[in-house]
Chain A
Amino acid sequence: MTKRHTIPPKPKQTMTLVKRIAAIVILLAIYTWTFTSISIKWDTIFSTRTLDNFDRIIPKFFTPAIEETGNILEMMLETIFIAYTGSLAAAILAIPLAFLCASNMVKNRYLNTIGMWILGAVRAFPEIILAILFVAAVGPNPFAGVLAIAIGSTGMLGKLYAEVIESIDMHVIEAFEASGANKLQILFYGIMPQVLPEFMSYAIYRFEIDVRASSVLGIVGAGGIGTLITFAYLNRNWEEVGMILLVIIVTVTIIDQISGAIRKRLV
């Protein structure tokens, strides 16, 4: 028979307990505060009017306006072009910023931090806000959408790229230095082969996100299928909204599948 061990009791952590109780109290307080201050009108939500509206609109989604397909597909294509051009521009713009942020490339912590700030600041804007800014700057056309997508994606891609660069095998770089290669040669022979597949994989992933993001840009006039959504919605043309949603769902699914397959082969 094996000897029974007396497991030492878990040390009492009064402070942890106090912290946990405090956290729960604060959470409850925040919930109470929010629910009491936003004045939810429960009686309107569950009124017959709401049910009538649903009853009127939802069935129309399921009888989509097939006759509009040509027009919708054309705008969907424009959406994809916006996403593609935008993410391509971002995929390139992000490279120098990523090198600036990578601590194994630029050995100056202040420059790294400045790079991170730039990327962080860019990331803080939702695409739709950027789109509003660019519509004001270049007018209501797809180019505004491209700019919004490009700037919005640079923030995320730059950060991911920087992480890829920081994870490369620096011993390989040392071998190139030891052979008398200069910095530019090391970049092209030592660094690029190590990072390019990951860069491309992230860029394609970002393109996937951008197709979804650019679908709504048209709402603020930045081109793409969002424009159609706005018009159809303003005209209470729910059959057309239903058709647009269907096209978006199908397109996004197809693109996700394709990009997933490509990314699996890349890395």
Chain B
Amino acid sequence: MITFENVSLVYPNGTQGLKDINIQINEGEFVVIVGLSGAGKSTFIRSINRLVTPTSGKLMVNGDNILSFKGKELRHLRKKIGMIFQSYNLVKRSTVMKNVIAGRLGYTDTWKSIFHLFSEKDRQLAYENLKRVNIESKLYSRADELSGGQQQRVSIARVLTQQPTLLLADEPVASLDPPTSHQVMKYLKQINKEDNITTIVNLHFIDMAMEYADRIIGMRDGEIVYDGPASSVSEKTFEEIYGRSIREDDIIGGEEHE
């Protein structure tokens, strides 16, 4: 369970990233955060694993206020939180296997990991997760040989190898075409349901948000302007969140037909 209590964040240059956020995210929820770019979605998500540090308030993750975490405590928190990025962030020159097993680094002794001595159990886990996203045939390919959608699936496998209790995804489909985007979202949804991993995804496509989310949070100018179940959301709601009428590029379309 994640609880934001009066959380604000002011960047060193004076920009207010978050303004007095109060919200609770329950275990197992699939939350989609929508808003225009610069609305604070990314700041919100990155606060949870402390890639950015809010300047005031309390942020409780599983009962601990994580804003005071440093060093070992922080690494311990982060290894239980998986994160997926818009640009996949794989090491392009390393193999798929090496990228995925890197998800175990937080659990592995530094010296063992330097000499690449992962246990058989870890290697099995990595392979299993590659199979879950149907990319196990690329095991020994270099990451830069894969297409965008394949790379994003590898990054999902890497995150699963962390055995996280919480999954954050920052615009995971912004660099993908519509069919591939739907495929990636389906994997995220499936993982959320099968493993009961709380999942928070930033999106700006409204049709996608409505299709996959259990709950939608709307943000504008660092504030939460909407919070409700996906079923009660309409285009009207999005117009309120965005503060303007809905345009063509707010919709991804192209639902995958298999």
**Mutual binders A and B:** yes
- Encode contact with B along A166-193: 1 for CB under 8 Å, 0 otherwise: 0001011011111111101100111001
Interfacial chain A residues near B162, Cβ < 8 Å: 179-180
Residue pair B93, A178 in contact (C-beta under 8 Å)? no
Residue from the set B75, B105, B108, B114 with the largest chain A CB neighbour count within 10 Å? B105
Interfacial chain A residues near B80, Cβ < 8 Å: 180
Q: With A180-B106, A193-B93 in contact, do A175 and B85 touch (Cβ < 8 Å)? A: yes
Interface status of A259 (Cβ within 8 A of chain B): no
Interface status of A59 (Cβ within 8 A of chain B): no
Residue pair A189, B105 in contact (C-beta under 8 Å)? yes
Q: How large is the interface on B (under 10, 10 to 19, 20 to 34, 35 or more residues)?
A: 20 to 34
| Contact residues of B between 22 and 78, Cβ < 8 Å to A | 49, 51, 75-78
A171 and B92 alpha carbons, distance in the complex (Å): 12
Partner of A172, one of B82, B90, B105, B114: B90
Interfacial chain A residues near B114, Cβ < 8 Å: 184-185, 188
Residue pair A180, B76 in contact (C-beta under 8 Å)? yes
Closest to A189 in B: B102
Closest to B86 in A: A171
How many residues of A are counted as interface, with CB atoms below 8 angstroms from the partner's CB atoms? 20
Interfacial chain B residues near A193, Cβ < 8 Å: 91, 93-94
Interface status of A251 (Cβ within 8 A of chain B): no
- Encode contact with A along B8-21: 1 for CB under 8 Å, 0 otherwise: 00000000000000
Interface status of B87 (Cβ within 8 A of chain A): yes
Q: How far is the CB of B46 from chain A (nearest CB, A)?
A: 9
| Contact residues of A between 162 and 220, Cβ < 8 Å to B | 169, 171-172, 174-182, 184-185, 188-190, 193-194, 197
Partner of A179, one of B78, B98, B110: B78
Residue from the set B85, B91, B158 with the largest chain A CB neighbour count within 10 Å? B91
Residue pair A178, B81 in contact (C-beta under 8 Å)? yes
Interfacial chain A residues near B92, Cβ < 8 Å: 169, 194
Interfacial chain A residues near B217, Cβ < 8 Å: none
A171 and B89 alpha carbons, distance in the complex (Å): 6
Interfacial chain A residues near B79, Cβ < 8 Å: 179-180
Q: How far is the CB of B161 from chain A (nearest CB, A)?
A: 9
Interface status of B216 (Cβ within 8 A of chain A): no
A190 and B114 alpha carbons, distance in the complex (Å): 12
Interfacial chain B residues near A177, Cβ < 8 Å: 51, 78
Residue pair B93, A181 in contact (C-beta under 8 Å)? no
Residue pair B110, A184 in contact (C-beta under 8 Å)? yes
- Encode contact with A along B87-120: 1 for CB under 8 Å, 0 otherwise: 1011111100010001101101010011000000
Residue pair A175, B83 in contact (C-beta under 8 Å)? yes
Q: How far is the CB of B113 from chain A (nearest CB, A)?
A: 5
Residue pair A179, B105 in contact (C-beta under 8 Å)? yes
Residue pair A180, B89 in contact (C-beta under 8 Å)? no
Residues of B near any A CB (own CB < 8 A): 49, 51, 75-83, 85, 87, 89-94, 98, 102-103, 105-106, 108, 110, 113-114, 155, 158-159, 162
A-B contact pairs, 22 of them (CB 8 A): A171-B85, A172-B89, A175-B83, A175-B85, A175-B89, A178-B83, A179-B82, A179-B102, A179-B105, A180-B76, A180-B77, A181-B75, A182-B110, A185-B108, A189-B91, A189-B94, A189-B98, A189-B105, A189-B113, A190-B91, A193-B93, A194-B91
The 7 closest A-B pairs by CB, nearest first: A180-B106, A180-B79, A175-B89, A180-B78, A181-B105, A178-B83, A180-B75
Given contacts A172-B89, A179-B103, 4 further A-B pairs with CB under 8 A are A182-B110, A189-B91, A189-B94, A197-B93
